[in-house]
């Protein structure tokens, strides 16, 4: 039986405790999780690693998450990644700015673990993983 390779995830947050908790959760549930602690490092690692999913905080050092997302999206390699704002900022203006910056989703902390796992399952390989686990494709 052939197993589905792990889903590459990049978690970006300057709160190291949050990053570590997310990394553990995602790795235990089919992720191959990498981490960054500022916006510049996020863009660099996104280019190097080409993750399928990026969980990106907004309030980051060096460049904020909005700018990091814009920089990732301006490259062909960054256009098909799922980029999720994972932030404490939940006002309508924050959500609108996320959308304008190129985020696919805007989630406000604290986020239920099940919701984050749903994001992983939404990737093409996440759907394959679900199908291989129960024999039925997810749509």
Number of domains into which the chain is organized? 1
Across the 139 residues of the chain, what is the mean pLDDT of every consecutive 10-residue run?
77 96 92 96 98 96 98 96 94 96 95 89 62 37
What pLDDT score does 132 carry?
39
The answer to whether residue 139 sits within a structural domain is: no
The boundaries of the domain holding residue 98 are: 7-133
What is the pLDDT, as a whole number, of residue 135? Answer: 38
Note the helical H segments in the chain: 16-28, 39-49, 65-73, 92-101, 113-121, 124-134
The answer to whether residue 138 is domain-embedded is no
**What is the CATH number for 77?**
3.40.50.2300
Q: Which residues contact 139 (CB under 8 A, 6 or more apart)?
A: 127
Contact criterion met (CB below 8 Å) for 62 and 43: no
Q: How much is the pLDDT for 138?
A: 31
Q: What is the pLDDT of residue 125?
A: 66
Per DSSP, the three-state class of 137 is coil
């Amino acid at each position: 039986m052939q197993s589905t390779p792990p889903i590459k995830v990049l978690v970006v947050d300057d709160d190291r405790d949050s990053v570590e908790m997310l990394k553990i959760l995602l790795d235990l549930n089919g992720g191959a999780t990498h981490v960054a602690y500022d916006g510049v490092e996020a863009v660099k690692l996104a280019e190097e690693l080409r993750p399928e999913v990026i969980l990106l905080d907004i309030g980051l050092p060096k460049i904020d998450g909005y700018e990091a997302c814009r920089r990732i999206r301006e490259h062909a390699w960054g256009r098909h990644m799922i980029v999720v704002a994972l932030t404490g900022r939940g006002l309508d203006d924050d959500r609108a700015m996320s959308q304008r910056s190129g985020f696919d989703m805007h989630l406000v902390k604290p986020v239920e673990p099940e919701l984050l796992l749903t994001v992983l399952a939404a990737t093409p390989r996440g759907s394959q993983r679900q199908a291989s686990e129960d024999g039925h494709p997810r749509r």
